[in-house]
Chain A
């Protein structure tokens, strides 16, 4: 469910980076307050562990296919929401860099869609309330499945929103949502079961390793306030965005152009749009309709210019290759 760079515009990427940065800043503050030096190596090794477990195949009973572990819920049940969140940021960054799973620009989105929901919602709203009176197999299983399904649904919904707001796709909201949510329902369910199996094992072998078991009294009011805050922020985010989207959607394309895209794009696409709508003189091949906008390029001269530039660069590259070969053979 990793978001790709291509699916978002800079404004959306920036917003999500900002949101994720705030959550990360808060987490770092919390971790520093805890002042537990051991957390750092544990986060590092756990991050690597989650990364590595993502490569294991788990057979789904009754089907021929296999599922995987994403780890947000697992990380927060073991490390708590704050350390878990920072760990997942690390995992997502390294994953994006090494395996091109998610992009540099989309990292803010990915951190929010996967780490934030998985760790904050999963740990604070589901895991801790359910474990405050101690653990049991059933409770762990329920919390894991519920947490994975819910946070993955939120993540998938965010992917949909981020893409639609970016004005990348013409896919209607309803169709997009109807595609994304059910797929992730199944994925979340399987992930929840795997997480449950692992956590139940840990609970039986070393129960002290689980986070937030029977600790409600410790933080008391503060955590409740924080929990409510999280709910409020999420509700505001979804409420605002969804209602905005719903009310503005009828003129979909224009809406996304005007509201979201920067002024530069607005100018260009606006004129392209007008021009395209006005085009009737189909006799001319490739009319210069976008030229007057000053940054079109979808015109005949633009295409010629493009070809010239690309050919030139390819030429230079061939020269570089040739030159390199020469020097390497001289060296040899």
Chain B
């Protein structure tokens, strides 16, 4: 399967997940977006040696992956694009930071701890975004962005990108397939074809944009989309937000774990 097909399948799959009737899918998009951002904020703000409470932030992921019936592997697979940079940045910490944290047979250094913290942050942040996008469509996210007064023109452009990405993606797949059939030994587009191949496609896409514009203006488009009002907040939405805010606060700013632990020791 080509890279393009893989990407398109991934989007299709996300789309199917978004369309399901789950508890998470039904939550107000503003609440989901805010919770996700607060989670990531709390997560990345953990000091680098605080590996334990940072690790415990996984409870959000565990609960929501289960509530949302999502596959953890699909989430982890999405690490592939961002992981290399995170690894490069983190992998050297043990070599540079020899601060002694504790000894468990061997000396655990600050570098080791901060590397693990960084990896956890990287993985958790991607998984948290996955939960958001697997339960919330781009439209709903745009609705949330509108709610936060993001300018209409930007929201409109995002919606159009979302709509036409799929069409152009499929076109890219066909172009690539047709190319490969006539150039079987190449793993990419030959440099002589860079200009004409992409250029023609670009011109076709511009023509399409022209028709899209005509179609819009024939239906009264005056520069901005008009959006129908939607969704009001329910108690569940508020409760969801408050609950997670409390959890993030407790983990990040209090010694709740120690207090719990002492009850058991």
B40's partner among A38, A89, A105 (CB-CB below 8 A) is A105
Most buried by B among A13, A24, A97, A272: A97
**Residues of chain B in range 45-76 having any CB-CB distance to chain A below 8 Å:** 45-53, 55-56, 58-59, 62-63, 65-67, 69
- Judge whether A86 and B198 touch: CB under 8 Å: no
Nearest-neighbour CB distance to chain A for B151, whole angstroms, equals 5
- Judge whether B205 and A45 touch: CB under 8 Å: yes
Most buried by B among A56, A168, A314: A56
- Judge whether B213 and A42 touch: CB under 8 Å: yes
- Judge whether B81 and A48 touch: CB under 8 Å: no
Binds B, one of A112-120, A122-130, A169-177: A169-177
Most buried by B among A47, A51, A52, A286: A52
- Judge whether B157 and A304 touch: CB under 8 Å: no
Q: Which chain B residues lie closer than 8 Å to A72 at the CB level? A: none
Residues 153-173 of chain A, each 1 if its beta carbon lies under 8 Å from chain B, else 0: 000000100010001111110
A302 in contact with B261 given A42-B213, A66-B188, A105-B40 (CB within 8 Å)? yes
Residues 245-289 of chain A, each 1 if its beta carbon lies under 8 Å from chain B, else 0: 000000001000000011011001100110011010010011101
Residues 177-202 of chain B, each 1 if its beta carbon lies under 8 Å from chain A, else 0: 00000000011111100111011111
> Is chain B's interface secondary structure helix, strand, loop, or mixed overall?
helix
The contact size tier of chain B is: 35 or more
**Residues of chain B in range 23-63 having any CB-CB distance to chain A below 8 Å:** 36-37, 40-41, 43-53, 55-56, 58-59, 62-63
- Judge whether B49 and A170 touch: CB under 8 Å: no
- Judge whether A45 and B206 touch: CB under 8 Å: yes
A201 in contact with B196 given A48-B167, A306-B55 (CB within 8 Å)? yes
- Judge whether A57 and B188 touch: CB under 8 Å: yes
The contact size tier of chain A is: 35 or more
- Judge whether B52 and A56 touch: CB under 8 Å: no
Binds B, one of A223-231, A234-242, A293-301: A293-301
- Judge whether B172 and A53 touch: CB under 8 Å: yes
- Judge whether B47 and A86 touch: CB under 8 Å: no
- Judge whether A4 and B85 touch: CB under 8 Å: yes
Contact of A233 with B by CB under 8 A: no
Contact of B239 with A by CB under 8 A: no
- Judge whether B217 and A37 touch: CB under 8 Å: yes
Contact of A186 with B by CB under 8 A: no
- Judge whether B205 and A49 touch: CB under 8 Å: yes
A291 in contact with B40 given A100-B81, A205-B203, A320-B67 (CB within 8 Å)? no
Contact of B226 with A by CB under 8 A: no
Q: Which chain A residues lie closer than 8 Å to B49 at the CB level? A: 269, 272-273, 276, 290, 298
- Judge whether B104 and A6 touch: CB under 8 Å: no
List of 4 A-B pairs having minimum Cβ-Cβ separation, nearest first: A44-B160, A201-B199, A305-B261, A301-B261
Task: With A28-B154, A159-B85, A302-B53 given, name 20 new contacts (CB 8 A).
Answer: A4-B85, A6-B124, A46-B205, A48-B165, A51-B169, A55-B172, A59-B187, A66-B188, A104-B37, A170-B114, A201-B199, A262-B45, A277-B100, A290-B49, A297-B50, A297-B53, A300-B265, A301-B261, A306-B55, A314-B62
Measuring CB to CB, which residues of chain A are less than 8 angstroms from any residue of chain B?
1-10, 13, 24-25, 28, 31-32, 35, 37-38, 40-49, 51-53, 55-61, 64, 66-67, 69, 78, 86-87, 89-91, 93-94, 96-105, 159, 163, 167-172, 175-176, 179, 193-194, 197-198, 200-202, 205-206, 209, 253, 261-262, 264-265, 268-269, 272-273, 276-277, 279, 282, 285-287, 289-291, 294-306, 308-310, 313-314, 316-317, 320-321, 324
List, sorted by A's number, 30 A–B pairs whose CB atoms are closer than 8 Å. Answer: A3-B85, A6-B125, A7-B86, A7-B118, A7-B122, A9-B45, A44-B160, A46-B209, A47-B161, A52-B172, A55-B4, A57-B188, A78-B202, A91-B161, A94-B158, A94-B162, A99-B78, A100-B82, A168-B118, A170-B92, A170-B96, A193-B194, A202-B202, A265-B45, A289-B102, A297-B258, A301-B262, A305-B257, A308-B264, A317-B65
